[in-house]
Amino acid sequence: MLVLGIETSCDETAAAVLEDGTVLHSNVIASQDEIHSKFGGIVPELAGRCHVERIHFIIERALQEAKVSLKDIQLIAATEGPGLVVSLLVGLNTAKAIAYSLRIPVIGVNHLEGHVLAIFLQQKVEFPYLALIVSGGHTDLCRVDGFGQYRILGRTRDDAAGESFDKVAKMLGLGYPGGPIIEKKAREGNPQAHTFPRAFLEKSSLDFSFSGLKTSVRNVLLKRESGNGSTTTDEDIAAGFQEAVVDVLIQKTLVACKQESLQRVVVTGGVAANGYLRERMTSSCKKEGIDVFAPKPVLCTDNAAMIACAGYYRSQYCSPTENDPFSLDAHPNLPF
Ligand code: KG4
Ligand code: ZN
């Protein structure tokens, strides 16, 4: 089955062609980083307008690269939520229009299901596994028992991990998105130069909190600006901050594995592109006999291949033809 995936939940306009859930023929992603970077974060109106300008061109590119035409497509999968409503509507309405004109089924996909299943574009992972979803909008620990069988075990109570990377980069005046910039800066810094707080919350809680860490970075910067002789460099702050985030993510992942008796972890979402997190998670889990899997970085950050993948597997256990394409709608706060 040839699936066209469409993803426009945030600031990436993306389309992909996937065969039988595993053979990826194309994966085209147009980033809007250059548009939003001068604002230090995403401006929803600009994101929506940019999606409208690009979506047809991106779909055409995905079809061309896959060497197929629209008439070869058997199913369209598009993100229906969660995300920015002005962004979601562009991809979803385009998907509905194409599906209606071709008389083929269209399926709405939860963006988080896309992240959780992205690993299947690369390799099969035996169920059950623990998915750590770390993105710009989410930090979730999710038990995955099969396709469509998900249970959230913990989530962030305030900022998402990626959001805290973005905010710290903004405070340091380093641009957007903050994750890759902070990771690069951190390589030149000393993580022990300043110890930032780790919010482990109650011992058995699998929830996260990153807002205190962000405030702590602000306080260090204010102290430095007041000229109190502090020698903490931007590189040290980046390294110390990253260390604190990674420590908490690993600790909570290990607690979740123990509580749920799980031996496999899939780290996914934009922050999972972080090399330091991947390395540390792999070595810490190995000590406990836990295997760690992570999609390659381009499949961690937002892409349409993961949406096509989730749509394909969804179509195997819930018939998309039962969905009236006109009943599909964007859901900015779609629960997972
Ligand atoms: O999954 P994603 O592309 O979009 C959402 O669903 O939110 O994640 C984007 C987030 C941004 O906050 C970005 O700063 C972060 O992922 N990110 C990273 C890295 N690459 C992207 N965070 C840390 N290290 C990275 N290398
Ligand atoms: Zn995402």
CATH code of residue 290? 3.30.420.40
For the CA of 275, the nearest ligand: 1
Which pLDDT belongs to residue 323?
A: 57
Query: Has residue 334 been placed in a domain?
Result: no
Integer Cα distance of 308 and 3 in angstroms: 6
| Structural domain includes residue 331 | no
**289 and 143 part of one domain:** yes
Report the percentage of the chain scoring pLDDT > 70. Answer: 97
Say whether both 258 and 168 belong to one domain.
yes
Distance 319 CA to ligand 1 centre (A): 32
264 in any annotated domain:
yes
- What is the per-residue pLDDT for 1? 95
Of 36, 133, 174, 271, the one to substitute when testing ligand 1's pocket (max ligand atoms within 8 A of C-beta) is 271
**pLDDT-based confidence at residue 82 (cuts at 50, 70, 90):** very high
C-beta of residue 10 within 8 angstroms of C-beta of residue 42:
yes
What is the Cα–Cα distance from 331 to 336, expressed in whole angstroms? 11
Average pLDDT of 156-160?
A: 96
Average pLDDT estimate for 43-67:
97
User: How far is C-alpha 179 from the geometric centre of its chain's CA atoms?
Assistant: 12
Does residue 325 register a pLDDT over 90?
no
Paired tokens of 43? 């401006």
User: Under a CB-based contact definition with an 8 Å cutoff, are residues 265 and 291 in contact?
Assistant: yes
Q: Is residue 333 a part of any domain in this protein? A: no
What integer pLDDT is reported at residue 319 of this predicted model? Answer: 58
User: Are 63 and 138 found together in one domain?
Assistant: no
Domain assignment of residue 156, yes or no: yes
C-beta of 133 in contact with ligand 1 (< 6 A): no
Ligand 1 pocket, residue 189 CB under 6 Å: no
Domain that holds residue 25: 2-116+300-323
- What's the mean pLDDT when you consider all of the chain? 94
* Closest-CA residue to 144 (of 129, 133, 165): 129
Structural domain ending residue among the three candidates 294, 312, 331:
294
Residue 320 above 60 pLDDT? Answer: no
Terminal-to-terminal C-alpha distance of the chain: 26
User: Model pTM?
Assistant: 0.96
Q: What angle do CA 10, 237, 209 make, to 5 degrees?
A: 55
pLDDT digits (tens, 9 = 90+) for 257-306: 999 999 999 999 999 999 999 999 999 999 999 999 999 999 999 999 99
Question: Which has more confidence, 110 or 201?
Answer: 110
Contacts 24+ apart (CB under 8 A), 146-154: 147/117, 147/313, 147/314, 147/316, 147/317, 148/313, 148/314, 148/317, 148/318, 150/113, 150/116, 150/336, 152/336, 153/206, 153/256, 153/259, 153/260, 154/205, 154/206, 154/207, 154/208, 154/252, 154/256
95 and 49 within one domain? yes
Residues 212 and 93 occupy one common structural domain: no
Q: Which of 13-17, 115-119, 327-331 has the lowest mean pLDDT?
A: 327-331
Same domain, 145 and 208: yes
The answer on 159 and 58 residing in a single domain is: no
Please, are residues 283 and 231 in contact by the beta-carbon 8 Å criterion?
A: no
Specify the ligand 1 atom closest to the Cα of 275: 26
Residues 218, 224, 230, 232: what is their CA dihedral angle, to the nearest 10 degrees? 50
pLDDT category at 324 given cuts 50, 70, 90 is: low
14 Cβ closer than 6 Å to some ligand 1 atom: no
Residues 143, 262, single domain; the answer is: yes
Residue 257 lies in a domain: yes
pLDDT value at position 322? 52
**Sequence-ordered list of residues with C-beta below 8 angstroms from that of 242, at least 6 positions apart, any chain:** 165, 182, 183, 186, 191, 274, 276
Q: Which residue has the tokens 């509507």?
A: 89
Q: How confident is the model at residue 249 (pLDDT cuts 50, 70, 90)?
A: very high
Q: What is the pLDDT of residue 310?
A: 98
Q: How many helices (H) and strands (E) does the chain have?
A: 11, 10
Letter for the amino acid at 71?
Answer: K
User: What is residue 200's predicted lDDT score, i.e. its pLDDT?
Assistant: 83
Same domain, 92 and 63: yes
Residue 68 lies in a domain: yes
Number of domains observed in the structure of the chain: 2
Asked if 64 and 167 sit in the same domain, the reply is no
Judgement on whether residues 218 and 247 belong to the same structural domain of the protein? yes
Residue 7 lies inside a defined structural domain of this protein: yes
Is the pLDDT at 91 greater than 70? The verdict is yes
Domain shared by 214 and 94, yes or no: no
- In terms of Cα–Cα distance, which of 131, 64, 68, 90 is closest to 8? 90
